[in-house]
Amino acid sequence: MTDVGIVLAGFGNVGRAFARLSFEKRQFLEKRYGLRLRLRAVFRSTGGIRLGPASAAERLLAGDAARAEESPLWNPKLRMSAPLTRGAHGVLVVCTASDVHTGEPGLGLIRMALARGWHVVTADKGPLVARFRELRETAARKGLKLGYSAAAGAALPALDVGLGSLAGTEIAAVEGILNGTTNYILTRMGQGADFDTALREAQAKGIAEPDPARDIEGLDAAVKLLLIANSTMGLDLRLDDIEVAPLAGVGRRALVSAAKRGLALKYLAKVQRETRKIRAEVKVSAIPRTHPLFGVDGTNKGVTFLTDSMGAVTVTGGKSDPRGAAAALLKDIINIYRS
Ligand SMILES: NC(=O)c1ccc[n+]([C@@H]2O[C@H](COP(=O)([O-])OP(=O)(O)OC[C@H]3O[C@@H](n4cnc5c(N)ncnc54)[C@H](OP(=O)(O)O)[C@@H]3O)[C@@H](O)[C@H]2O)c1
């Protein structure tokens, strides 16, 4: 049995879902993978809780985890440096919401964890966008793992397929419906809902970004595209290299008229190798019935890889909610210890 210390940064939608999921699955993880996850500490922006005996963790998770500050274990002075002790191997699970330009606050936390010999898995895209190469190189130099499936499509296994199943192929293009919120909005508008109602529904499902402007202005899809394309196509794109047109402006009439012509309007994110350059964009596109992403509706996501030797390979589905993101974090942790 391998004991894995877990420090959890961020206790919002995804952080709580992760704590709950890993607690629910503790016996399965022990039996199937020989892994015993030990939640050592949980942090919010205002402090944290350091967990000692398993019973304390159980109490926290069994109750309303959102009210962590009411726990007798709550410590507003607790700093991440305390549980991230050097030499004690474990995983920092990053569920903060960081600025994509500075990468903070997640970037500082990830740097600290790697410097102290901890693996990192992150749902937070900000640090990766700001310092992708630096973080990957630091982790590799130190023999540590940096897992970011949860930031690059979460339950949609885009990276697993692109990096694992397509090994040895050269990928000429990646095309995806990478944002569940905007796909849900387009689907609901096609069914007659107005934009604001559809967005509110997506927020109620917990799938919208903490700031939903990130979804509807295309930033979330652009960031996922960046992570998937840079990882699987060996590129070094920056956010500025991606042309992004916001979702706003697409009305019901356009959706209905496209449907009459056998087309579907989708908020597509695409990177393509052209003769002399790389074209990268996120925009509403009309796709025909024959397109592999045509039927990807609602909160579903999907990605198609155009390869030189395996043809077009598409993966679709995967839950688009905090529990799906939590499951992707858990998968990355399992794969760290499996390898
Ligand atoms: N929601 C999804 O389905 C989903 C899917 C994939 C990826 N993601 C990504 O996952 C991340 C979390 O999303 P969310 O929906 O869980 O956001 P959220 O509900 O806003 O939670 C963010 C958490 O981060 C905490 N935090 C902020 N600064 C911190 C700091 N310096 N140290 C420790 N904790 C800090 C916040 O503390 P307070 O509680 O004190 O505010 C809060 O608990 C985001 O980066 C998001 O893009 C979300």
Q: What is the pLDDT of residues 321-331, one digit of tens each?
A: 899 999 999 99
- In the reported structure, the alpha carbon of residue 285 is separated from the centroid of ligand 1 by a whole-number distance in angstroms of 31
307 pLDDT above the threshold of 60: yes
Long-range contact pairs involving 312-316 (C-beta distance under 8 Å, separation at least 24): 313/161, 313/165, 313/166, 315/156, 315/157, 315/158, 315/161, 316/156, 316/292
132 pLDDT above the threshold of 60: yes
> Which 3 state secondary structure label does DSSP give 9?
strand
| Residue 8 contacts residue 93 (beta carbons within 8 Å) | yes
Segment 131-142 mean pLDDT: 96
For residues 224, 228, 234, 235, the Cα torsion angle rounded to the nearest 10 degrees is -20
> Which 3 state secondary structure label does DSSP give 92?
strand
Report pLDDT for 207.
Answer: 80
Between 303 and 50, residue with greater pLDDT? 303
Ligand 1 atom closest to residue 207's alpha carbon, by position in its atom list: 3
59 pLDDT above the threshold of 90: no
- In the reported structure, the alpha carbon of residue 12 is separated from the centroid of ligand 1 by a whole-number distance in angstroms of 5
Report pLDDT for 55.
Answer: 55
% residues pLDDT > 70 (the chain): 96
Report pLDDT for 56.
Answer: 59
Q: Which of 64, 78, 80, 96, when mutated, tests ligand 1's pocket best, judged by the most ligand atoms within 8 Å of its CB? A: 96
- In the reported structure, the alpha carbon of residue 11 is separated from the centroid of ligand 1 by a whole-number distance in angstroms of 6
Averaged pLDDT score across all residues of the chain: 92
| Residue 194 contacts residue 339 (beta carbons within 8 Å) | no
Q: Which of 92, 95, 156, 228, when mutated, tests ligand 1's pocket best, judged by the most ligand atoms within 8 Å of its CB? A: 95
Report pLDDT for 249.
Answer: 79
Measure the CA angle with vertex 250, ends 219 and 299; round to 5°: 60
| Residue 6 contacts residue 37 (beta carbons within 8 Å) | yes
Q: Which of 13, 102, 111, 149, when mutated, tests ligand 1's pocket best, judged by the most ligand atoms within 8 Å of its CB? A: 13
- In the reported structure, the alpha carbon of residue 14 is separated from the centroid of ligand 1 by a whole-number distance in angstroms of 7
Report pLDDT for 64.
Answer: 57
Catalytic residue numbers?
A: 224
- In the reported structure, the alpha carbon of residue 251 is separated from the centroid of ligand 1 by a whole-number distance in angstroms of 31
62 pLDDT above the threshold of 60: no
Radius of gyration of the chain (CA): 20
Report pLDDT for 158.
Answer: 97
| Residue 267 contacts residue 221 (beta carbons within 8 Å) | yes
| Cβ < 6 A, ligand 1 pocket | 9-15, 43-46, 95-97, 105, 123-125, 150-151, 154, 206-207, 209-210, 321-322, 325
> Predicted confidence band at 85 (pLDDT cuts at 50, 70, 90)?
confident
What pTM does this model have? Answer: 0.93
Segment 151-160 mean pLDDT: 95
Segment 227-248 mean pLDDT: 95
Residue nearest to atom 27 of ligand 1 (CA): 45
Residue 314 has phi, psi (to 5 degrees) of -120, 140
